[in-house]
């Protein structure tokens, strides 16, 4: 059997190696359009490769995977984060789980993963062909592949795995649509928010540790730390919100309003009671000098100004109206987002080959027999934390297993 894997990234290599380990007699060729393979793995996790997550902080998979959770729920029964952990440690790569549940190589170096993949590919006899960009797939008795750089030569295979990763442009997926697959239009996910001309940017560098941010007019929200930057807002809560709302804010052309709850307290009565208790205990103290919830002092002064409360006003003088203004500012602070930025160049694509077009148990196409998918080319994407690579390992492993069981 001759198998072609299109795309020499995380999913492509993982699929090829598992395929050869499960069935050594299969001939496997990886085709990569660039001169270098595994380029994204190299830069992943800031060069440290956050290759999976302990999932300890995840209550429901939908929290980590806004798209693809249902498929992955089933798929993780076959190859989970624990299998990933074992797989890499069996290959001699020691791993470490950080306090935030992210898993990295102990060496803190993504090169260790790349060297492992390259060494195993050589040992297992996997052929890796670079600078070959797939241009078309046709099928008669076998799959016939042509490549842009070599369009006179057709290569024939019994099965194909598409592991071409996220594509920001829908045109890159046209050939898959032509083969009968439904395509969910690709849009970016995991980005920061530009909030131009808002004075909040003067507080750049301040981190509010425990916030809830939401897209105004929707029930889409995310919690966690929020970093104020010189262009707007970033940090885990914002990246998560960008992931949960990726499609919606793309429809709005990245012009939308967000509400920030700076103190992670959604119950207005609890918040009001708390502010009243501060006023009772400190009636003669200036509002600027007693900060609720240990909020950063610069942020507190900023919010008081925004609430139009004079900084020398005493807590005892605030009255119901003043307490209400502060309560609103702390829990419902509105900002207008105009545009998106990047987070350390890290982004993923939401969209791609629709999961309606594939068999969840095998990753095989429903419209083309012996055509498989794995990785970010599928309409699966996650928040940051190692979840995206975990999806690539899991889907690649399942496709490899299914190919060997044909």
Ligand X SMILES: Cc1cc2nc3c(=O)[nH]c(=O)nc-3n(C[C@H](O)[C@H](O)[C@H](O)COP(=O)(O)OP(=O)(O)OC[C@H]3O[C@@H](n4cnc5c(N)ncnc54)[C@H](O)[C@@H]3O)c2cc1C
By CB under 6 A, name the binding residues for ligand X.
6-12, 31-34, 39-40, 43-45, 49-50, 133-134, 163-165, 345-348, 375-377, 386-389, 392
Tell me the closest approach of the beta carbon of residue 158 to ligand X, in angstroms. 19
Residue sitting closest to ligand X (CB): 9
Residues in the chain, how many? 406
Question: With respect to ligand X, which residue has the nearer C-beta, 31 or 256?
Answer: 31
Question: With respect to ligand X, which residue has the nearer C-beta, 12 or 322?
Answer: 12
Question: With respect to ligand X, which residue has the nearer C-beta, 169 or 320?
Answer: 169
Tell me the closest approach of the beta carbon of residue 385 to ligand X, in angstroms. 7
Question: With respect to ligand X, which residue has the nearer C-beta, 18 or 331?
Answer: 18
Tell me the closest approach of the beta carbon of residue 47 to ligand X, in angstroms. 9
Distance between the two ends of the chain, CA-based, in angstroms?
Answer: 11
- Determine the Cα–Cα distance for residues 301 and 284; give it in Å rounded to an integer: 18
Question: Do 399 and 15 meet the contact criterion of CB atoms below 8 Å apart?
Answer: yes
Tell me the closest approach of the beta carbon of residue 134 to ligand X, in angstroms. 4
Question: With respect to ligand X, which residue has the nearer C-beta, 90 or 345?
Answer: 345
Degrees to nearest 5, angle at CA 22 with 363 and 118: 90
Question: With respect to ligand X, which residue has the nearer C-beta, 6 or 260?
Answer: 6
Tell me the closest approach of the beta carbon of residue 316 to ligand X, in angstroms. 51
Query: In 25-68, where does DSSP find H-type helix?
Result: 39-47, 61-64
Q: How many CA atoms lie within 13 A of 53 on its CB side?
A: 21
Tell me the closest approach of the beta carbon of residue 372 to ligand X, in angstroms. 13
- DSSP states of 170-239: GGGGHHHHHTT--EEEEEEESEEEE-TT-GGGGGTT-EEEEEEEEETTSS-EEEEEEEE-SSEEESHHHH
């Amino acid at each position: 059997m001759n198998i072609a894997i299109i795309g020499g990234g995380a999913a492509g290599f993982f699929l090829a190696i598992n395929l050869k380990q499960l069935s050594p007699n299969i001939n496997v060729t990886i085709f990569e359009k660039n001169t270098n393979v595994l380029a994204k793995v190299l830069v992943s996790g800031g060069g440290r490769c956050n290759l999976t997550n302990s999932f300890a902080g995840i209550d429901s998979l939908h929290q980590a995977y806004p798209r693809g959770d249902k498929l992955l729920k089933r798929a993780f029964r076959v190859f989970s984060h624990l299998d990933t952990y074992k797989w890499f440690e069996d290959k001699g790569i020691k791993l470490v789980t950080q306090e935030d549940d992210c898993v990295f190589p102990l060496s803190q170096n993504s090169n260790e993963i790349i060297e492992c993949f390259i060494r195993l590919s050589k040992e297992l006899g996997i052929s890796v062909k670079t600078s070959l960009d797939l241009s078309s797939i046709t099928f008669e008795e076998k799959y016939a592949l042509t490549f842009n750089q070599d369009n006179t030569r057709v290569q024939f295979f019994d099965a194909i795995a598409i592991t071409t990763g996220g594509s920001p442009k829908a045109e890159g997926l046209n050939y898959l649509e032509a083969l009968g697959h439904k395509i969910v239009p690709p849009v970016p996910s995991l980005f920061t928010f530009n909030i131009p001309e808002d004075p909040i940017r003067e507080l750049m560098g301040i981190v509010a540790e425990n916030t809830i941010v939401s897209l105004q007019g929707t029930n889409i929200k995310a919690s966690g730390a929020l970093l104020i930057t010189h262009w707007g807002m970033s940090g885990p809560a914002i990246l998560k919100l960008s992931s949960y709302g990726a499609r919606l804010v793309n429809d709005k052309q990245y012009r939308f309003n967000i509400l920030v709850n700076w103190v992670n307290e959604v119950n207005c009565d609890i918040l009001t009671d708390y502010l009243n208790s501060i006023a009772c205990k400190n009636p003669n103290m200036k509002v600027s000098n007693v900060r609720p919830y240990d909020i950063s002092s610069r942020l507190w002064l900023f919010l008081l100004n925004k609430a139009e409360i004079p900084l020398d006003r005493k807590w005892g003088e605030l009255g119901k109206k003043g307490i209400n203004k502060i309560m609103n500012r702390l829990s419902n602070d509105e900002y207008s987002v105009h545009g998106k930025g990047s987070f350390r160049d890290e982004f993923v694509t939401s969209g791609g080959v629709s999961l309606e077009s594939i068999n969840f148990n095998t990753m095989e196409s429903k419209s083309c027999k012996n055509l498989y998918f794995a990785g970010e080319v599928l309409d699966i994407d996650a928040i940051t934390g190692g979840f995206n690579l975990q999806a690539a390992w899991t889907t690649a492993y399942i496709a490899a297993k299914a190919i060997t069981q044909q």
